[in-house]
Structure 1
Amino acid sequence: MLDNIRIVLIETSHSGNIGSAARAMKTMGLSELYLVSPKQGIDEQAIALSAGAGDVVKNAVVVERFEQAVGDCSLLIGTSARLRHLQNSLIEPCQCGEITMQAAKCGEKVAIIFGRERVGLTNDELLKCRYHLTIPANPDYSSLNLAMAVQLVCYELRMAFLSQTAQEMPVVAIENTVKNTALLATAQQLEYFFEHTERLYQSLGFIQNQGVMQKLRRLYQRAAVEQNELNILRGMLTAVEKHLYFHKE
């Protein structure tokens, strides 16, 4: 289950934060680290602050864009302190652990995404996440550095993992469950669908501002669309396009 979970750090400013986050991960049994356009690459400071988790740092996957880090994942969870406009999708670390482990147990790839040290995730990045994780810290002093936040979340993942394994079904039963579980659409597949939807609805004059598309994104993210369901939705869009083209002719 833990191998299906990746921690994604967006544009980290200091290499030491990468090492400290890797240390936080390894203490809780996680090893999949993705870095999106880090401001400082992996260097001696990153290795030093990893304190024995140098293997996690050295095996980190470095990519240029957000989409490259999460494209093959079917569950994206974004972390942020400013989430008032996303109340319907808010979860806390304990819930994050439970939701993540349920998905990972079924073979789904999960990305838990941490934003820039100073400004966090952008609104566009948050809109691509199905759930939005907030840490209910002291409102009078809610300052958590990146490694602290990663440690806290990884701890809850560990606790959920231990809870799952303590009451684990027989191996054969688990394999059958995974085989019979429909795969969720990946982030990349959803992006293709959203682009298709926006293009068609704009041509129909239905979408005239980004507010509509943002609400549609939230709707489909909450629905946890399966791949076969997404194929139906895309087929419907294509059918409408063909109908419009036929009548134009």
Structure 2
Amino acid sequence: MDSDQAYSTPPIRFVLVGTQHPGNLGAAARAMRTMGFSNMVLVAPEKAPNHDTDAMAAGAEALVHDAPVFASLAEAVADCGLVLGCTARSRRVALEELPPPDAAVRALGAVANGREVALVFGRERTGLTNEELQLCHAAIHIPSDPTFSSLNLAAAVQVLAYALRMAQLDARRDVQAVPNPTETHEGEVPASHQDLEGFFGQLDETLHAIDFHKGRAPESAMRKLRRIFLRNELSIKEVRLLRGILADAQRMAMLANQPSTVSDKDPM
């Protein structure tokens, strides 16, 4: 047993997406509870919790039974200011990669700055889809043995929960705040995930309105633009400013596309 007395852990949510085996829900709950975390969120689990869940939870089954259930990852993290996806390295969606200790520092720093934080874990066999990864600000990569990199869902949850606990204990021992390399300007409210998705939707519409893509695949450009803006962790004020610029660009594009009312004939 850890010699440190019980202490308050940050309300970081552990989001489990498309979990296929009910027993893994219980094992993940046990992994969270041993490190002091209790905020579990489920996204479209394939099967409901059952007796296997309770058996594997070993007393932490309340985390599963009390967990809110969402139909999509976008809904589950709509109010979050930082979303970190736990994933393998070989993905077409290029994201900043963080080892667990660095991810823990980033997460705790975001909590200290008033952000809602989610750690996202994918399906046992296939992980997170590319579309789900695009909703994440960065990826967490657990450096397992490349010749046997298959990590159980509960084991991945345990690694991240332990990294978070150690980062918080280190901060307490140092008697200083956990550093946050992407802190927003003092006094500014960070943009939520829902704010950013609204901005990205308007950005996509604007790029089409001004014919930015010119026949090229719009998905590639949007993936790159999403990475740029997510990396900078915008505030609500910054998102509003950008959306105001986009609104003006859309208005000018609409005016430019209206048929001219001036006759092409020479005046009499």
For the criterion TM > 0.5, the same-fold answer is: yes
Deviations 1:90-114 (A, max 9, x none): 1100101111111111221110000
1:4 counterpart SS class: coil
Report what 2:263 is aligned to. Answer: none
Report what 1:142 is aligned to. Answer: 149
- Structure 2: any 5+ residue segments left out of the alignment? 1-7, 178-182, 259-268
- CA 1:41/1:181 → structure 2, altered by over 3 Å: closer, same or farther? farther
Alignment of 1:9-88 (within 5 A): 9-83=16-90, 85=92
Which structure has more helix as a fraction of its residues? 1
1:190 aligns with 2:199: no
Q: 1:245: how far off?
A: 3.0
1:154 counterpart SS class: helix
1:130 aligns with 2:140: no
Deviations 1:68-88 (A, max 9, x none): 110000100011113455566
- Count the aligned residue pairs: 243
Deviations 1:137-157 (A, max 9, x none): 111111211000100111001
Paired residue type of 1:60: A
Report what 2:172 is aligned to. Answer: 165
Q: 1:129: how far off?
A: 0.8
Paired residue type of 2:105: E
CA RMSD of aligned residues (A): 2.1
Q: What's the TM-score, normalizing by structure 2?
A: 0.85
Deviations 1:201-235 (A, max 9, x none): 01211134111111101111111111111110001
* Aligned 8 A contact 2:209 2:250 in 1: no
Q: 4+ runs of 1 displaced by more than 6 Å?
A: none
Identity of aligned residues (%): 37
1:120 counterpart SS class: coil
- CA 1:117/1:146 → structure 2, altered by over 3 Å: closer, same or farther? same
- CA 1:84/1:115 → structure 2, altered by over 3 Å: closer, same or farther? closer
* Aligned 8 A contact 1:33 1:57 in 2: yes
Report what 1:216 is aligned to. Answer: 225
- CA 1:156/1:96 → structure 2, altered by over 3 Å: closer, same or farther? same
Report what 1:120 is aligned to. Answer: 127
Distance in 2, Cα, partners of 1:96 & 1:50:
25
1:204 aligns with 2:204: no
1:153 aligns with 2:160: yes
User: Which one has the largest radius of gyration?
Assistant: 2
- Mean CA deviation greater in 40-49 or 188-197: 40-49
